Amino acid sequence: MVMDGLGDRAVEELGWKTPLQAARRPNLNWYAENGANGLVDMIGPGIRPGSDTSHLAILGYDPRKVYTGRGPFEAAGTGVVGKKGDVAFRCNFATVDKNMLVADRRAGRIKEPDTTELVTAFDHLMIDDITITVKPATEHRAVLLLQGPGLSPHITDVDPHDEANVHEAKPMSPEAAKTAKVVNEFVRLSYQKLDAHPVNQRRKREGKPVANILLPRGGGVFPDIQPFPEKYGMSGSCIAGVSLIKGICRVCGLDIIEVEGATGGKDTDMKAKARAAIEELKRKDFVLMNVKAADITSHDGDAKAKVEVIERIDAMVGELRAGLGEEVVVAFVADHCTPIEMKDHSGDPVPLMIYCKGIVKDPVKQYDEGSAGQGSLSRIRGMDILPILIDKAGRAEKYGA
């Protein structure tokens, strides 16, 4: 179980405790007392992880080898998974005038069902020998997938990131010339297809900004990732509300389990997630569950809300404790620290707890950033977590005779 952005630094408002230390957390502490504890540098000491790179590490992949940028993982979060060499971009639906001047980068924060209807304009689209797929993502966002020979993600952004003229994609290396040409043609076509679209005519009548162009940015190539079931000989599932986490897990070959009420927001139904994980473990060898809420309160800089969220997470942990069989190896970890003070991710290590039948208890009695380092797992890298869990589960192959 990954508690997103759970780790923190000492906060003055909380009497120089971390939100985790300030929260009532009987269930997490029960696990800490009965399990083995340690600290994790998700990527390396002092490296500030994104949620994407940290989840790759937790799944035992070296982010420095397989992370190719946010685009492909974001695309996979919406269900668009390309093969090695395919290129994905994040896009915004935006409003432009006739001179390609951006009036609204988010087209009035357009969302479903308008975006879902608009993307049908790109069904069965090919530009030269490249197959084009467009899928709506959250709110005004969409993803663009290019599939075909000779693609490269190394082009400049079309999105001007401001109310300025739409940029022309330029290749940053000679190999990217074809991709830049295809993307520029796609942007031109998007204006042509969307400006006159019935959804936009309706929006005009309703006085809403039209979404008459798609602006790609942040391209990335789909990496060559050995699927999780092949790499470990285990079936696996992911339970997460956040699209990017689903994308990471989908690219790694995990099944995505949708849980009603699991939104990835502060209002997410955590206990429903816990029940789903318990059920899923009856069918699968491995489940990764992500709970996002603590990270959101940190980005908001709201210490009190973070303490409350942690207490709700603890209640969910109680649900897991009651429902998981003794054959299950349980691990609790944060994917990174998100200090309230920084409102962003830091490179601090995060607490890890591993519990299973027969585990040798260490002296740690509480689950938090300060206590975990006194545990028997001491200080490891994110990539080390899964091999340890596999060994605890009796699934590790012997190295040597």
Positions touching Zn ion (CB under 5 A) are 4-5, 51, 295, 335
| β-strands 255-256, 236-239 pairing | parallel
Distance (Å) of CA 52 to CA 248, 273, 352, 369 = 6, 20, 18, 22
Least distance to Zn ion from the beta carbon of 268, Å? Answer: 14
Residue partners of 274: CB distance under 8 A and separation at least 6? 289, 316, 317, 319, 320, 323
* Cβ proximity to Zn ion, 53 vs 133, nearer residue: 53
Cis bond before residue 113 (omega within 30° of 0): yes
List % helix, strand, coil for the chain (3-state, nearest 5): 35, 20, 45
As measured in angstroms, the least distance from the Cβ of 291 to Zn ion is: 10
Which CB, 74 or 362, lies closer to Zn ion? 74
Comparing CB distances to Zn ion, the nearer of 159 and 335 is 335
Closest to Zn ion by CB, 49 or 148: 49
Smallest gap from residue 350 Cβ to Zn ion (A): 10
Q: How far is the CB of 155 from Zn ion (least distance, A)?
A: 27
Pairing of strands 102-104, 87-96: antiparallel
Closest distance to Zn ion from the beta carbon of 156 (Å):
26
Nearer to Zn ion, 295 or 314 (CB): 295
Q: Which phi and psi (to 5°) does residue 327 adopt?
A: -80, -10
Neighbours of 50 (CB within 10 A): 18
Q: From start to end of 7-67, where are the E strands?
A: 36-41
CB of 330 to Zn ion, least distance (A): 20
- Pick the closer one to Zn ion by CB: 169 or 337: 337
CA triple 385-391-393, angle to 5 deg: 105
> Shortest Cβ contact with Zn ion: which residue?
51
